[in-house]
Structure 1
Amino acid sequence: MNTTNFTTLIGRALLAAIFIISGFGKLADPTGTIAFISSTGAPLPELGYAIALLVELGLATALLIGYRARLVALLIALFTLVTAFMFHFDLNNQMQTIMFLKNLAITGGLLQIAAHGAGGLSVDAYRR
């Protein structure tokens, strides 16, 4: 097994894990999640909830298996950047600042996948 392919797979898995775990948390508590989205003043909290589930469960699973990884990573990166500014941009709150910076770092990792692809251990490689 090629070391680059293995590390790329691990990188995708680690990035996908945070979204998949978060998505299952949202799925387990839709009322609480929608209430949280509402509390931030975000418009259409039910739609936001549905988009979050689509990204965190659907797109993150596609990222994990490396299916259309460049496009999927770009879409998740956009979602992550938007959520950073919508929910975590409070630089007077240390925890929110950390969450904001975490989202920026995750966005950077996703942009690496968007630029370089899923690697050899992926559906994308198999399809080629």
Structure 2
Amino acid sequence: MNASPTDRERRIDPFSTAIADGTQLIGRLVIAPMFLLTGIAAISDPQKFIASSSLPAPAVALGAAILTEMICGSLLVIGYRTRLAAGVLAGFTLMTAAMSHGNLTESTQFAMFWKNLAIAGGLMQIVAVGAGRWSVDFN
């Protein structure tokens, strides 16, 4: 089920539906590169990410993070299995906020924590609304 406007709604108000279609595409294209670029950076310099990790198995966590960011980020761009990809990334982002930015007494960590929550909120909107008409998911 896609929350995009129906054909009847498109005929009644084509301007609003065009805006909705465009903003759904732009929203996906704006949020996905953050994950793709982070995944590429982790591939380029894995030791930097492993050294900064406080997890018990940092290499395994890094591999899982790279796969999650690259696969789900790519799915968001093309709009395929978008709700699933956005849901996985929302969970990943919430987990990252809790595990990496939990020191809320430090101002930078506090800001990063809330930034991650905001990103997760945007991803949850994609889960709720779907990819939109300009996507592989649209049928």
1:100 paired with 2:125, answer: no
The RMSD of aligned alpha carbons is 1.1
Whole-angstrom distance in 1 between the partners of 2:56 and 2:76 = 28
AA aligned to 2:36 is I
Unaligned stretches of 5+ residues in structure 1: none
Whole-angstrom distance in 1 between the partners of 2:83 and 2:77 = 12
Deviations 1:72-120 (A, max 9, x none): 1101100000000000111111111111001000000000111110011
Whole-angstrom distance in 2 between the partners of 1:16 and 1:55 = 12
How big is the shift at 1:21? 1.2
1:24 paired with 2:37, answer: no
The SS at the match of 2:133 is coil
Whole-angstrom distance in 2 between the partners of 1:47 and 1:115 = 31
Whole-angstrom distance in 2 between the partners of 1:120 and 1:7 = 11
1:55 paired with 2:71, answer: no
The SS at the match of 1:47 is helix
Whole-angstrom distance in 2 between the partners of 1:56 and 1:101 = 20
AA aligned to 2:89 is I
AA aligned to 2:105 is N
Q: Which residue of 1 aligns with 2:134?
A: 121
Q: TM-score by structure 1 length?
A: 0.92
Whole-angstrom distance in 1 between the partners of 2:33 and 2:97 = 18
Q: Which residue of 2 aligns with 1:87?
A: 100
Deviations 1:12-66 (A, max 9, x none): 11111111111111111011111111xx2x1211111011111111111101111
Choose between structure 1 and 2: higher helix proportion: 1
Moved more, 103-112 or 53-62: 53-62
Aligned length: 123
1:44 paired with 2:44, answer: no
Unaligned stretches of 5+ residues in structure 2: 1-16
The SS at the match of 1:124 is coil
